[in-house]
Amino acid sequence: MVDTLLIPGPIVMSANVQKALGSPSVAHTSPEFVAVISRVLQNTRKVFKADSKKGQPYVLAGSGTFGWDIAASNLIHPSEKALVLSTGFFCDSFAECLKLYGADVDKLDAPVGGVVDSAEIESQLRKHNYRMITITQVDTSTAVLMDVKRIADVVHRVSPETLIVVDGVCSIGCEEFEFDKWGIDYALTASQKALGAPPGLSVSMISQRALEFALNPETPTRSFFGSLKRWTPVMQGYESGKGAYFATPAVQLVNSLDVALEEILQDTLEKRWEQHKKTSDWLKSKLTDELNLKSVSEPQVSANGLTAVYVDEPPKVTSYLKQNGVVIAGGIHREIGPKYIRVGHMGVSAIDSKLDHIPRVYDLIKQAVH
Amino acid sequence: MVDTLLIPGPIVMSANVQKALGSPSVAHTSPEFVAVISRVLQNTRKVFKADSKKGQPYVLAGSGTFGWDIAASNLIHPSEKALVLSTGFFCDSFAECLKLYGADVDKLDAPVGGVVDSAEIESQLRKHNYRMITITQVDTSTAVLMDVKRIADVVHRVSPETLIVVDGVCSIGCEEFEFDKWGIDYALTASQKALGAPPGLSVSMISQRALEFALNPETPTRSFFGSLKRWTPVMQGYESGKGAYFATPAVQLVNSLDVALEEILQDTLEKRWEQHKKTSDWLKSKLTDELNLKSVSEPQVSANGLTAVYVDEPPKVTSYLKQNGVVIAGGIHREIGPKYIRVGHMGVSAIDSKLDHIPRVYDLIKQAVH
């Protein structure tokens, strides 16, 4: 019997997504595979709500982290300034990545569990010329949800030249996200989060103006495997139905992502976001109201794809759940790491009402903390 | 009915490798997964023949190409000199990768189908201080096999400080390869070649002295996702049975690679190399002696995992085979690209005598060219 996986990614896959994974070898340039990845790229536009403008999607072999490298090595020159809004561990790591590639990084840190104040962002944007601002829509370490639309509006008003980069790793597919409408320049996620596919693919989307910046011969690309100059014609070839080559894609993972995206698009994204919110609200209210556990994220800025709550003895709780066949995660945070637990509720676990994953995890946490 | 895939990677997987791929989601830090990746890392040492010294293996989400980034961004300072031995397209691409990360690259080009002369290598090594030399054991574009041992001996004698980097993408698992005995410093391959797993994993091995260089704080790592400073403690943690985290590994691909490596190690590597040679010799002699096709690679320097032969109309041949359920590859080379075909014979297709893949591909090529 396999444990029920309720960490904030990888998540439980649907039966059909899992089945597509075990597909036999096909050539990465075959008409069969090109048809699949073409559809995956088109559906990536839809899931990112990026199908009204002329952006470009990328589906590449790699972890979610690789998306940071792509942004840091293609979308900013060394020594140019980047503003990182930090609500936790993953925001801070993105800042480290930007620094490694030579960016001059300023970071605005939110208090633990809270968000960065909009007025502070506006004031900071007025101080310097920033090439890039990074917004982690949901930091998986704290379950804090940033208001990307509101921040993007501030950037467009105060510093319209600044490229808006969104880490959507724990949000795209379960939180409201509008790439085109909100005027996002680069957004990245990973296959194993709210998209519901297995881990191993970096999935991202770039705006036309950011792509022009990346493809400009004067922009010094600082990654080979992550070079948008090299990948863009390949992705464009694939999407238009032509075999193309730079590096071999992870064929079976792409097959699996194909099924996952098709499943997501069987209904509206708005409904999917609403279902995640409903599941999240239910679990959060049960944990905080009935068990009196304190949420790490402040209630009005809490993510809908995971829940982080303080408990007295996190290892005791996670062990108890594991013994009962449910896997949740411990904390990952510089200041509060050992003090809390994280429960993921994305994909089928959140939206398939035939599954009892979330009531079950609640019951087990209740037993564990009492 | 699925086509039989006889391109030089991805290759046909065994039934058990394919089955392991379709495994359900487990946490990337769970004891179950840590046990798997620990075994994978230990078996990687064995398959690279790197289990007698204190090197370090890496299994990371990414394409084979990503291994070039790791070498270029961790094992050489910007402006230091690298010597690239080129027998084809992939060697040239590795040179491009090194240049992108700032290396000062000299390239010695072999004539098409031949190898770089040892005396020329020795003479070049005496001219400059090279931080790194790259040897592509088999260039998948030309099917040329370089004598890594002989070249490594030259380097050790003439320029012992130079790090020896081997691209083993189309060789490790099917060609004689001795990481420790030959004194290799970094060797890289991809999961979907002679290892027999699906695409999406970069598999590599570093020597102790090269690792010391990479981990030295004065060595400027120029990739975040490819940083050996970040990955080394994670891989060491995994191998010793502890969960660790930098970026989420491609869990199902690792499960699949685990089965593939176990299958390889059921017999001696020497026998496996011999089986590949036997299959290769059979196909090459049939194609050249009976069909009078000219090999792209000179006979004495031909790879054992693939065959490249000139044919009059490559698209006609590949189409005919595809119509008959067998997929082979066209050429990929600056000078001779449109003039030849490539047939992969690695893994089960080469060593499982119950399969008729290679006799069948021969019969179909015979029909197609007549």
Q: Measured between alpha carbons, how far is B333 from B112 in angstroms, rounded to an integer?
A: 9
DSSP E strand boundaries for chain B? 4-5, 56-61, 81-86, 104-109, 130-136, 138-139, 144-145, 163-167, 186-190, 201-206, 306-310, 326-327, 329-330, 340-344
Mean pLDDT of all residues in A70-78: 98
Token look-up 């029909």 returns: B367
Q: Measured between alpha carbons, how far is B177 from B147 in angstroms, rounded to an integer?
A: 10
Residues above pLDDT 90, as percent of chain A? 97
Q: What is the pLDDT of residue A244?
A: 87
CB contact under 8 A, A10 and B21: no
| B164 phi, psi to nearest 5 deg | -100, 115
pLDDT band at A6 (very low <50, low <70, confident <90, very high): very high
- pLDDT of A210 > 90? The answer is yes
**Which of A24, A100, A327 comes nearest B27 by C-beta?**
A327
Q: What is the pLDDT of residue A69?
A: 98
- Reading the block at residue B357, the tokens are 């893949």
Between A20-24, A223-227, A323-327, B193-197, the lowest mean confidence (pLDDT) is in A20-24
For residue B123, give how far its alpha carbon lies from the nearest alpha carbon of chain A (Å). Answer: 30
CB contact under 8 A, A248 and B96: no
CB contact under 8 A, A30 and B222: no
Residues of chain A with Cβ-Cβ distance to B8 below 8 Å are: none
B209 annotated binding-site participant: no
CB contact under 8 A, A248 and B63: yes
pLDDT band at B370 (very low <50, low <70, confident <90, very high): confident
pLDDT tens figures, B270-320 = 999 999 999 999 999 999 999 999 999 999 999 999 999 999 999 999 999
Report yes or no: B35 at the A interface, CB cutoff 8 Å.
Answer: no
Contact A240, A39 (CB under 8 A): no
CB contact under 8 A, A252 and B62: no
Single-letter residue type at B189:
T
* Average pLDDT over all residues of chain A: 97
**Which of B2, B26, B200 comes nearest A61 by C-beta?**
B200
B14 contact partners, CB below 8 Å, separation of at least 6: B196, B259, B260, B263, B347, B348, B352
The end-to-end CA distance of chain A, in Å, is: 27
pLDDT tens figures, B190-249 = 999 999 999 999 999 999 999 999 999 999 999 999 999 999 999 999 999 998 899 999
Tell me how far CA of residue B190 lies from CA of A248, B9, B168, B170, in angstroms: 9, 9, 8, 8
- pLDDT of A370 > 90? The answer is no
3-state secondary structure of B79: coil
Token look-up 């490798």 returns: B17
CB contact under 8 A, B25 and A192: yes
Mean pLDDT of all residues in B133-155: 98
Report yes or no: A96 at the B interface, CB cutoff 8 Å.
Answer: yes
Q: Measured between alpha carbons, how far is B287 from B284 in angstroms, rounded to an integer?
A: 5
Report yes or no: B21 at the A interface, CB cutoff 8 Å.
Answer: yes
CB contact under 8 A, B2 and A252: no
Mean pLDDT of all residues in B164-185: 98
Contact B9, B192 (CB under 8 A): yes
Report yes or no: A27 at the B interface, CB cutoff 8 Å.
Answer: yes
CB contact under 8 A, A27 and B7: yes
Residues of chain B with Cβ-Cβ distance to A332 below 8 Å are: 245
Mutation for B interface: A223, A227, A234, A257, most B CBs within 10 A: A223
Single-letter residue type at A8:
P
Q: Measured between alpha carbons, how far is B148 from A88 in angstroms, rounded to an integer?
A: 47
Q: Measured between alpha carbons, how far is A260 from B356 in angstroms, rounded to an integer?
A: 36
Q: Measured between alpha carbons, how far is B70 from B190 in angstroms, rounded to an integer?
A: 13
Alpha-carbon Rg for chain A, nearest whole angstrom, is 20
Q: Measured between alpha carbons, how far is A365 from B36 in angstroms, rounded to an integer?
A: 28
**Which of B12, B19, B251 comes nearest A22 by C-beta?**
B19
Report yes or no: A35 at the B interface, CB cutoff 8 Å.
Answer: no
| B163 phi, psi to nearest 5 deg | -75, 130
CB contact under 8 A, A30 and B3: yes
pLDDT band at B145 (very low <50, low <70, confident <90, very high): very high
Q: Measured between alpha carbons, how far is A192 from B335 in angstroms, rounded to an integer?
A: 42
- pLDDT of A1 > 80? The answer is no
Q: What is the pLDDT of residue B294?
A: 98
Single-letter residue type at A293:
L
Q: Give residues 191 to 210 of B whose Cβ lies within 8 Å of A.
A: 192, 198-200
Q: How many CB pairs under 8 A join A and B?
A: 195
- pLDDT of A86 > 90? The answer is yes
- Residue ranges covered by each domain of chain A: 4-10+268-369, 15-264
The yes/no answer to whether this complex scores an ipTM above 0.95 is yes
CATH class, domain B15-264, is alpha beta
Report yes or no: B291 at the A interface, CB cutoff 8 Å.
Answer: no
- pLDDT of A126 > 90? The answer is yes
Q: What is the pLDDT of residue B244?
A: 87
**Beta-ladder partners of B186:** B165, B206
Q: Measured between alpha carbons, how far is B73 from B225 in angstroms, rounded to an integer?
A: 11
- pLDDT of B1 > 80? The answer is no
pLDDT tens figures, A140-176 = 999 999 999 999 999 999 999 999 999 999 999 999 9
3-state secondary structure of B78: coil
Residues of chain A with Cβ-Cβ distance to B102 below 8 Å are: none
Tell me how far CA of residue B251 lies from CA of A5, A6, A322, in angstroms: 13, 16, 19
pLDDT tens figures, B66-92 = 999 999 999 999 999 999 999 999 999
For residue B120, give how far its alpha carbon lies from the nearest alpha carbon of chain A (Å). Answer: 29
Report yes or no: A249 at the B interface, CB cutoff 8 Å.
Answer: yes
* Average pLDDT over all residues of chain B: 97
Report yes or no: B68 at the A interface, CB cutoff 8 Å.
Answer: yes
Alpha-carbon Rg for chain B, nearest whole angstrom, is 20
- Reading the block at residue B322, the tokens are 């595809």
Q: What is the pLDDT of residue A39?
A: 98
Contact B115, B87 (CB under 8 A): yes
- Reading the block at residue B360, the tokens are 């069948």
pLDDT tens figures, A259-316 = 999 999 999 999 999 999 999 999 999 999 999 999 999 999 999 999 999 999 999 9
Architecture of domain A4-10+268-369: Alpha-Beta Complex (3.90)
Mapping DSSP onto H, E and C, the string for chain A reads: CCCEEECCCCECCCHHHHHHHCCCCCCCCCHHHHHHHHHHHHHHHHHCCCCCCCCEEEEEECCCHHHHHHHHHHCCCCCCEEEEEECCHHHHHHHHHHHHCCCEEEEEECCCCCCCCHHHHHHHHHHCCEEEEEEECEECCCCEECCHHHHHHHHHHHCCCCEEEEECCCCECCECCCCCCCCCCEEEEECCCCCCCCCCEEEEEECHHHHHHHHCCCCCCCCCCCCHHHHHHHHHHHHCCCCCCCCCCCHHHHHHHHHHHHHHCCCCHHHHHHHHHHHHHHHHHHHHHHCCCCECCCHHHECCCEEEEECCCHHHHHHHHHHCCEECEECCCCCCHHHEEEEECCCHHHHCCCCCHHHHHHHHHHHHHC
Q: Measured between alpha carbons, how far is A203 from A60 in angstroms, rounded to an integer?
A: 7
Q: Measured between alpha carbons, how far is A144 from A139 in angstroms, rounded to an integer?
A: 6
Angle between helices B251-264 and A251-264 (to 10 degrees): 150
**Which of A27, A30, A252 comes nearest B21 by C-beta?**
A252
Mean pLDDT of all residues in A46-57: 96
CB contact under 8 A, B65 and A225: yes
Residues of chain A with Cβ-Cβ distance to B13 below 8 Å are: 24-25
Could you tell me the fold of the domain covering B4-10+267-369?
Aspartate Aminotransferase, domain 1 (3.90.1150)
Q: Measured between alpha carbons, how far is A335 from A295 in angstroms, rounded to an integer?
A: 15
CB contact under 8 A, B10 and A21: no
pLDDT tens figures, B8-28 = 999 999 999 999 999 888 999
